[in-house]
Structure 1
Amino acid sequence: MPKLLIVDDEETIRVGLTSMVNRLLPQWEVVGSCEDAEQAWEQVKSCAPDLAIIDIGMTGMSGLELALRLNKERPEINKIMLTGYDKFAYIQTALRAGATDYLLKPVQRDELVNAFAKVEELLIERNRQSKLLLEKTVLEWTMTKKDESLILLERLLDGEGLLDEDVRYGIILRFQYRNDPEADSRRVESPEAYWMADYEKSHRGLLKTVDVVLSNVCEMTFVAGRELSELKDWLECTEQAPDGKTPRWAPFGYGEPTEDLRQLPSAFRQAQEMLYRSIQPLDESNPDEETVRINRLAVAIEMNDLKAVNDLLNLWRRDLGQSSERHPVWMFGRLIRFVAFFVGLQATRMPSALLTEMNADITRLSGQLLFNGDPVTLLSTIDQFIEKVAQIKPDSFDERKIIGKVKEMMRREYGNPDFSLEQAALRVHLNPTYLSELFKETTGRKFIDYLTDIRLDEARRLLLETDMRMYEVCSSVGYTSSKYFSTLFRKKFDVTPTMYRDGPVLETD
């Protein structure tokens, strides 16, 4: 409800205008009635009116001076000037002071209604522009993380009273398109605009929602509220259309609510990962075939089998093209499934050197689905993705080079008691089991045996060349138990560490 402030030094005028507005314009709320400009200024600061009706000829600070001050410090407030003289000079002065209109005393009902209609049009346009600016700013900060976007977002939210300490913010992403073979099979529907409107009306804790259409099938919603814990329960009920008849496939994802606007980009990434994880296979004639292919592709990527990956990608691409010919909407579902598979692998941080090489292209691919929902364009983007994968050179994750890196790692980390096969696998983006097999195949020795030899050879050097105490030598080569260290040392060199230091010892290779 827009708010009105009346400023006039005559009480009868103030009372009369209040009565007329309440009767003729019930959509407006009179939030203040002031007899002078100083009192009006205090009211402006406390109640932030959308419109002020101001008498030009007040004593003290004149109405014109108040209007000029509002122009400078509160330009968002509209102004209608009151005057008792129908003279061009007064009218011209009022308009120069930034008034949207003027009214002659005594105020006529039709003139009052017409003047308010002009202001309401301005408010509608202002709200539209503010909404567009807020949508643009939320999108820019979430996507680009530019400092100026964050500053503007904070200012816009502060102007709406949404920058309090107890306000939380969140990001929701949602896919939406029809999945009904009996419906129009040649068309993919756009998202349903402002789909959270009903929830916003019924839930008092939700203070603001800003919907940004990212593409013709994906919508982002920025939410601000004092209580967002019930939001998840409501989201899980949105897969059914409002009419209760038309099923919609509407996977969604959301980020953890945050009190810090700087965390919105992270919330967006969380929402994106959850969105892709929520995507399920469509009910097609043979879903098992796709599931088998997905499992094979996941194994090939984890095993860094570039040839198998390229073969499976080309096979999947062929099937996508055939789906396009059979049913466009089903094809779009499979396109989403294709992208979701790779984003899912990326999100799980699968230990694969090949996946690491693919990550940049996966990020570009997932962005295309969010920001360009056109199936033809997306299919072209998938083609480009497959071509990029085909251009990856095996040398970039050559197994011999990987084992060389692991050996160097052992020589650096032998003194770290926590260093393990799992740690090494994580650093070279390989599955621990696969790294263990690859290490033995390449070197002819087990990982732990190779690491133990490095540690014990270094211990032997320290025993001969330093005066370090036994427990210090033990700790320096990565062992926390002196007894275990001594057992390993004796097994390798046929003597205890103490006997080796005391010598003489006949050394053998």
Structure 2
Amino acid sequence: MRILLVEDEPMFRKGLAKMIGGLGTGWEVCGEAENGEEAEQLVEQLRPDLIITDIRMPLMDGLELLKRVKASHPDVAVIVITGYQDFQYAQSALRSGALDLLVKPCSKQDICLVLDKAEAVVAEKLEQRRREQREQSRRKENALRELFLRLPCRPDVAAALEREIAGSKLILLRIADYFPVHKQYLKKDMPLLQFAVLNIIGELAEVYGTSGDLLIIETGRFALFAQHMDSRHEQLLRTAIAESVLSFLGLRVESQEAVTVSTLNQLPDLYEELFGVRSSGEKEGGASSPEGAREGLPLPDGTASRIRQQMISAQLTSLIRNGETEGVKSCLEQLTGEVCGSRRDEWKMEALSLAFALHETARRHLEAEYEPRSVTARIGLLHECGGLPELREWLAEETGRFLAALSEWQQKYGGSSIAAAVRYMEEHYAEQLTLTDVALQAHLSSAYFSHLFKKETGRSFVTFLIELRMEKAKQLLANTGLNVTEVAGSVGYDLPNYFAKLFKQFSGLTPKEYRKRHQM
């Protein structure tokens, strides 16, 4: 979990960050800011779980930051640091939604107590969001399935779907035959195969720039509601799906040309017309219907599995962005244990879900190539796993492949990127530099750049920038006749008093005292 520290005293902030890093908890300082104004920008960029902020700061104090954060990001927890003299003022922070208060000076025990409290609150909110997301997705998928099959659907749910689906393009797909002669699939394999097909369709849709809802209507029949897709990309997508599923699973996929959905009332007519079935499930016009399509075979919970994949991907992405390689390894070990600890009849589905999550994360965040052949070819190996030892070996290969991609990515963006960032800072230190600005120059995410910068330089981005500016200020004070206000402006500070305060903290002298001692 991620913390943003907001404190205008660099030494106190640095000490607090070091203390938190040494506690061995699940908390990681993802960013630092010297005032509320800078922190408000970082909240948007870093999306921390917790903000620890001083209450007295220039430009924007901690109370104002708290109010703004709670208005825009109510789930972010905020802990306010205060002195004894500000305690009454800090009470208003609690009324404004602060989780707790820290009174200076803060001991390690004080920090541990508030972090434990914050962890419990953040974990509960995260789990609540996950439950709500799963339930919302299930309701939506069930409602769409009911509409396709002419089953009763709640009017309020249908009205909400109408607004969301109207204008999208509907592509209907089906598996022509689950038991081709060149494969030895059994009826029990159908849920796993359907889940594999569902993921192939979903990933190819994303590769071709299509967003939208995807669901299994019945056994062997799928619906994709595509947004922002022209006819050329539609044809390419349909062709890619058919070729991929045939090549890698040996299954033939048939699809119909996309139809723009203007009203939900179209869905059952389109379904029955395009697939040649009646609502009773009878065949029409001799069109084939895949075995088991209406036999009550259990459908894989595609929604739940895909949401779980998204959560796994988000968890791994967070660890990667924070540079927590050991955390990634621990997470993969835990996920492997969860798969192997599931019911025997769920092993393969859970394993495949994890494999797709790893593949998606590597493609999105580790610059891995989209390789459907690589993923789907291994489905055959998973299918052959007869027991837990073989399953563990299969999972070890999947996680090992992911860790290799992570290692390659980290080597690509290592010290050379930070060296380039430092050069950029040295050339632009007088400008209003933000961590995001410099991270873009290094072609890294803000969070990962922050972690890597500290690892390479031994200092946080904010501390390094202040030190750089102070060294430039020393040169100007010793070698020019610029007054303090002009020196402050020349090194990036609009407020001379704030500049003078920082200068004394870093040099032990006021700007005038320094000039008197060092000017030639």
TM-score (norm 2): 0.37
Structure of higher RCO (CA pairs closer than 8 Å, 6+ residues apart): 2
Query: TM-score, structure 1 length as denominator?
Result: 0.37
Which protein has the larger Cα radius of gyration, Structure 1 or Structure 2?
1
